[in-house]
Structure 1
Amino acid sequence: MKRSSGARLCATAALGALSLTLLTGCSDEGSDDAKDKDSAGTSSSSAPAAKARTTAELEKLLLAQGDVKGYKVAAADDTLPKSKSEVKADKAECAPLAYAMSGLAPGETEANASNTVTEDKASGAASKSPGDISEDDIENAFKVNMTFVGLSSYDGDGAEKALKAVSDGVKACSGGFGIAAQGEKQKITKVAEGKASGAGDESVAFSVGSDMDGQGTATFNTEVVRVGNTVSTYYTVNFANLETGKAAEIPTAVVQGQAAKLK
């Protein structure tokens, strides 16, 4: 997440989506149902506590190539932090937001897995020799939405607490916060609640404005979805949009596809 969580994470990952030729050339209320169950002698307290999935299990549940038409799936690499120890927010209440933007678990758990899902757009540069690749070819190659997907799983009510931590953080951190990640610092200038997809059992969405080293502000969208005791996070960037300040929309197909695999 150097510079902005989009600038470094995207730069390397987006480049990885290009052809080898291009790379070389570029060098509550209680419901009635619940009350009925309680009256029948079946209460939530009598149900066994949820058990977290393991990291290995989560890795198998991540979206795979072919799961979502029109998207390419790649394993997470060095563009994403390996652990929370690599991501520090200057305000404790903002840490869950920073984690969600990094493909890490927003709540308290060690079970975590991540990958990237990118629009599969054919590039005209793929069939060209390095000397024939134009600036337009390079620009068009970056005009794709890339989504960093993270999965995390929790014991008991940990998943619900993780969603609440994100929701509370959106409100508490509206004025912005600072992030130190992988040796670089990032300044979030504002946080705003977004429109969640409604996928899963509950979902929270937010957008952040990120200072681009004094060269304007880039906007990025994040969504966090809970399905049972597993939480998925989605952070979408479009490298070509960084200078415009326009945020890339989180693809509904990706969110719905991942939620379906977790049910």
Structure 2
Amino acid sequence: MKARTAAMAATTAVLCLAAVACGPSDDKSEKDGKAAATSAKPSGTDTPDPAAGDSAAPASTPSSSGKVLSKAELAKAALTTGEVAAYEVTPMQGGDETGTEKSENDDCRPLVAVINGAPEPAATATVFRTVMDKSEEGKDDQTVVTEILTSHPDGSAQQLMRGVRDAVQACKGGFRTSSEDGPSSYTQVKQLSLPRAGQESIAYQVTGSVEGDKVPLVFQLVRTGSTVVTFYVANFIDPKTPELPAELVAAQAAKLP
């Protein structure tokens, strides 16, 4: 993993996506620094439940206006500090600098687009947020979550979810990417059983590597109407599946119009 975005990754999570997506790092201390800032506590919840883990609506499906939100409306719909106890929400530094990885397997392209911080089909508006558990400040495993809120017209939000769901199944054995920094490998993709949210959701883990060490990246995508929220956490400390706090996902989903 070359830390193309190391400084940014030290304070935010999403462009650790771009960092993980690059080739082997030449600086182990760089990896350790990111571990202290961007890791999440392992949950150990990595066994998929075919009935609950697939992209599906919760038992009580929320209604939606279906409106395609502008950037200002997405910002209003995003979580703010104080809405979930102990969590501080800030605009993500460098959020407009998305990754540039390209999948060598077209079936896995939707997963790489999410890794780049730019889910496909392309959004008409995007808002990035970093959410940190302030009660864990100073800990190596402080919970840091990245949120990406995107608006998609003409049914493309449903298309995005369908593409990711299909790619999770098609790319279980991993995939490779290329970029200006060289090729990269992801060794495994597996669906996770996390609490459902919104009108449709899917959660999965992609396993990357840093100097040969496994780095689990967990994503959950939640759709309500024409809005999709991508949540992301990583664990740079050990190979255990990091925890994505369910209360954050539920609170954010509840704010979507």
TM-score normalised to the size of structure 2?
A: 0.70
Counting matched residue pairs gives 208
| Residues 176 and 164 (structure 1), Cα distance of their counterparts in 2 relative to 1, 3 Å cut | same
1:56 aligns to 2:53 (yes or no): no
Does the aligned pair in 2 maintain the 1:81–1:102 contact within 8 Å? no
- Which residue number corresponds to residue 82 of structure 1? 97
Q: How does 1:107-118 map to 2 (within 5 A)?
A: 107-118=121-132
**Secondary structure in 2 aligned to 1:121?**
helix
1:236 aligns to 2:233 (yes or no): yes
Of 95, 100, 112, the residue aligned with 2:114 is 100
Q: Distance in 2 between matches of 1:175 and 1:8?
A: 31
1:81-119 CA-to-partner distances (Å, cap 9, x unmatched) read: 6346x3422223322222323443343323211111111
Q: CA deviation at 1:192?
A: 0.5
| Residues 230 and 184 (structure 1), Cα distance of their counterparts in 2 relative to 1, 3 Å cut | farther
1:255 aligns to 2:249 (yes or no): yes
Does the aligned pair in 2 maintain the 1:196–1:203 contact within 8 Å? no
Bigger helix fraction: 1
Unaligned runs of 5+ in 1: 15-22, 27-48, 124-139
Of 143, 162, 165, the residue aligned with 2:163 is 165
| Residues 202 and 122 (structure 1), Cα distance of their counterparts in 2 relative to 1, 3 Å cut | closer
Quick one: which amino acid aligns to residue 151 of structure 1? Answer: L
TM-score normalised to the size of structure 1?
A: 0.69
| Residues 106 and 69 (structure 1), Cα distance of their counterparts in 2 relative to 1, 3 Å cut | farther
Of 211, 222, 227, the residue aligned with 2:209 is 211
- Higher relative CO (CA 8 A, sep ≥ 6), structure 1 or 2? 2
1:32-82 CA-to-partner distances (Å, cap 9, x unmatched) read: xxxxxxxxxxxxxxxxx955212222122211111211111121113x563
- Which residue number corresponds to residue 66 of structure 1? 82
- Which residue number corresponds to residue 185 of structure 2? 187
Quick one: which amino acid aligns to residue 212 of structure 1? Answer: V
Q: Which has the larger radius of gyration?
A: 1
Does the aligned pair in 1 maintain the 2:129–2:147 contact within 8 Å? yes
**Secondary structure in 2 aligned to 1:64?**
coil
1:197-218 CA-to-partner distances (Å, cap 9, x unmatched) read: 210001111101112122x211
- Which residue number corresponds to residue 56 of structure 2? none
Q: Distance in 1 between matches of 2:203 and 2:4?
A: 16
RMSD: 3.0
Runs of 4+ that moved beyond 3 A? 2-10, 179-186
What fraction of aligned residue pairs are identical, expressed as a percent?
A: 28
**Secondary structure in 1 aligned to 2:12?**
helix
